[in-house]
Chain A
């Protein structure tokens, strides 16, 4: 649901909606008390329905191209435990090959819902930071221009934050294989493709197979 007081302009428009809402209820009640009550119920239900629907129906997040050198290619990488996987590194190297690429890695701070709601994120962020540091070291060791940050625990939210600030040309999302990936179970890849207009590549990293 969108906050009607998000900005001064939104609040001003909301004021006029409230004036219209009140005027219709008053007119209805002056004609007949029960009519006024009916108008109140219908308008309130409509307002709730519209507010909730509007929040869910937000369009895809668009991003403006970053003015810069034509050969600059911006790659956003979003990954959890798989951030150091060789498949991911191979994919990123392949994407960056033959052009000036800038890689930005986002490691979501994975946490339990209870700890998220109680803002107990320190341990999750520390773990994510360790994964991110190791990943950046391996990427830089093969010559990639890489930077990164810790993201929101929700991978789609973390992706949205990074898209807004980094403005990538493409996104690479790394997960565990099907059957072991919580993100795949939660439909993160589909949600991200639906929500963002940036080309998205899904890379599966099988850490168990890599160890053997």
Chain B
């Protein structure tokens, strides 16, 4: 039976059609990345504006009364980058049919993400300043806090992925949930690298 004949005999709602130039999943990912770039871009704009206009002229950055915990952030960076390696391991494992590798990779990724987030919370307690102190303090906590919120979302996704993995979901043919979660986790890591370089090192 031809496609046309099938269409004519079809009952119920009409079949979905869309331009194949951009598939819905790719378009969705583009829109997501674009919105995230705008969101983080707004925070970075404020940060650099503050740095150039308020402090850049006298050469002191951050302002002398503030201390950035660079070493702790560096350790956190190593943890997060390693967690990207473990989620990649989980994805490649399930593609090869290695369920144990997938489960181990997901658990390790979740634990490292949780460690990152708890370390970030501990860092805030030890900072000695808060959002109301100066514009630097506000943008510093705003940027790192925005990223921490993304890590929290990523951890929620990872938790769901891990539970599903232990309940027997996913296979070498069907592992879209792992793939999408992995993409998001790598995106969170990429944003942390940008935040770490910009806010802590430069």
Chain A complexes with chain B? yes
Q: Decide: B3 and A147 in contact? CB cutoff 8 A.
A: yes
B interface secondary structure, majority: helix
- Is A14 in contact with chain B by the CB < 8 A criterion? yes
Q: Decide: A15 and B197 in contact? CB cutoff 8 A.
A: no
Smallest CB gap from B181: residue in A? A8
- Is B88 in contact with chain A by the CB < 8 A criterion? yes
Alpha-carbon distance between A119 and B24 when the two chains are bound, in angstroms: 13
- 0 or 1 for each of A57-96: is its CB under 8 Å from B? (1 = yes): 0000000000000000000000000000000000000000
Contact-size category for B = 20 to 34
Q: Decide: B84 and A12 in contact? CB cutoff 8 A.
A: yes
Alpha-carbon distance between A129 and B8 when the two chains are bound, in angstroms: 11
Give which listed residue, A3, A5, A22, A133, contacts B186 with CB less than 8 A: A5
Q: Decide: B17 and A26 in contact? CB cutoff 8 A.
A: no
**In the complex, chain B residues whose CB is within 8 Å of the CB of A9:** 88, 91
Alpha-carbon distance between A132 and B8 when the two chains are bound, in angstroms: 13
Alpha-carbon distance between A6 and B26 when the two chains are bound, in angstroms: 7
Q: Which of A14, A19, A151, A154 has the most CB of B within 10 A?
A: A19
Q: Which of B2, B7, B81, B193 has the most CB of A within 10 A?
A: B2
Q: Decide: A146 and B202 in contact? CB cutoff 8 A.
A: no
Give which listed residue, B19, B30, B193, B202, contacts A19 with CB less than 8 A: B193
Q: List 6 A-B contacts (CB under 8 A).
A: A11-B187, A18-B193, A19-B193, A125-B17, A133-B4, A147-B3
- Is B122 in contact with chain A by the CB < 8 A criterion? no
Q: Decide: B190 and A15 in contact? CB cutoff 8 A.
A: yes
**In the complex, chain B residues whose CB is within 8 Å of the CB of A15:** 81, 84, 186, 189-190, 193
Q: Closest approach, in angstroms, between the C-beta of B59 and any C-beta of chain A?
A: 10
**In the complex, chain A residues whose CB is within 8 Å of the CB of B20:** 151-152, 157-158, 161
Top 10 A-B pairs ranked by shortest CB distance?
A: A8-B182, A11-B186, A22-B197, A12-B88, A8-B91, A147-B2, A11-B183, A161-B20, A133-B4, A26-B201
Q: Closest approach, in angstroms, between the C-beta of B92 and any C-beta of chain A?
A: 8
Beyond A11-B183, A26-B201, A132-B4, 18 additional pairs, beta carbon < 8 A: A5-B29, A5-B186, A8-B183, A8-B186, A9-B91, A11-B186, A11-B187, A14-B186, A14-B190, A15-B186, A15-B189, A18-B194, A25-B197, A26-B202, A151-B20, A152-B19, A153-B19, A157-B20
A interface secondary structure, majority: helix
**In the complex, chain A residues whose CB is within 8 Å of the CB of B7:** 129
Q: Closest approach, in angstroms, between the C-beta of A67 and any C-beta of chain B?
A: 19
**In the complex, chain A residues whose CB is within 8 Å of the CB of B193:** 15, 18-19, 22
**In the complex, chain B residues whose CB is within 8 Å of the CB of A8:** 87-88, 91, 178-179, 182-183, 186
**In the complex, chain A residues whose CB is within 8 Å of the CB of B182:** 8, 11-12
Q: Decide: A149 and B186 in contact? CB cutoff 8 A.
A: no
**In the complex, chain B residues whose CB is within 8 Å of the CB of A161:** 20
- 0 or 1 for each of A1-41: is its CB under 8 Å from B? (1 = yes): 00101111101101100110010011001000000100000
**In the complex, chain B residues whose CB is within 8 Å of the CB of A150:** 17
